Amino acid sequence: MFAPSVTAGLLRPADLAGYRNGPVFIRRSMHAPPNSEAVRDAMPALFVLLSKETEASVRVVLGHFIFVYIHPYMDGNGRMGRFLMNVMLASGGYPWTVVPLEERDAYMAALEEALEEASVRKKIELLTDFLARLVDTGMQGKPAPEIPSND
């Protein structure tokens, strides 16, 4: 999955092992993730937070948001955040939820607002509402968007 980035020189193979060892920046965002030393404390704290939260819907929003806020890897944080979101959805009996391509801009806007506003105003409502709407759509039995086949 990351081979093209390594081949192009965007990532070193060592960047793919463990948490990041340097700074990382999020394109189109003013949010600066914690420094690499703080990641080593933040990730275990996230796992403790999630293990103690009994409500799956809260785990979904907080887990996804805080994971992306920490940005523990050099690359793939968004993909991993959406995967973890779905694991937490499944643990609560909710349907697997894909952010459709036509919803990507709305998703990114909601996530960027959460990253920008959370530390100042503790505001993640737009992200919460966006994820709830996607899950709601899935629970109403609407067909999931088709994923193109590589066949």
DSSP 125-145: HHHHHHHHHHHHHHHTTPPPP
Catalytic residue among 20, 71, 114, 128: 71
Q: Which of 51, 84, 52, 48 is nearest to 65 (CA)?
A: 84
Q: Is 71 a catalytic residue?
A: yes
Residue 128 CA to residue 125 CA, distance in Å, equals 5
Active-site positions read: 71
